Amino acid sequence: MELFNNTGKTAIVTGGGSGIGKTVAEGLSESGATVAIVGRTLEKTEAAAREIHDKTGNTVKGYQGDVTDSGGIQKFLSNIYDDFGQIDILVNNAGTLVPGTVEDLDEQGWDQVMETNAKSIFFTTQAVLPYMKEQNYGRIINTASVAGEVSLSFSSVYGTSKAAVIHQTKQLSLELAPYNITVNAVSPWFFETEFNESDLADEDFRKAVENRSPMKRLGQLEELKSPYLFFASAASGYVSAQNIFVDGGMTVYGL
């Protein structure tokens, strides 16, 4: 289990104020890491940080940051480095969804999703690179989605953005390998969070989601901690460019 111990490491989780990001931040804190939670709303990230600290006893701090703004990325990374003196793990988790098909999705919706889900990963990784190169060590984990592999009927752009995340994971792993930096992705199916609670409140929609998985249920947030922790720790030292589907088998469901 020492391979999964992140004591002495500093981790950043973007979009960590709630949902998947908050769960991942909690898992990293449980593994011993110092955790920086980044989100658009400082009050939300600080509240999440306090809650996780109270559970784990380890250092967790909230920061305000907008991953769609390159200047904002530089600012929160600089603040985190000033506070902790190192950045070892980056979880690119911030994301959004705008519903709409090719018939009705507008340019603003397209840009919003692509900038938040795909463009932000490239430029946050670019900004964190000097810190990781300096120490010749880094773990980068991107939150992708099953939608990067299969099509969803309710959003043309979301799946496109997540397919870009999966490819960026491969491309960046190639470019950063010489610096002992691994880059991997986790692709969840539906987990009950604030992000999708209104959709899942519709019983027909919820049942349709559950029936698409051979396990006939939604994922439990606790079940997401282990994949991220594996990629964040020494246990995955020779693993890069990989994407784990955490989907109850949904992506192999043929009929």
Just list the catalytic residues: 158
* CB count in 10 Å sphere of residue 208: 11
Of 220, 161, 185, 175, nearest in space to 92 by CA: 185
The pairing of strands 89-92 and 181-188 is unpaired
- Cα separation, 236 vs 129, in Å, equals 19
Residue showing tokens 């964040």: 232
Residue 207 in tokens: 């049942």
- Cα separation, 100 vs 88, in Å, equals 37
- CB of 140 closer than 8 Å to CB of 184: yes
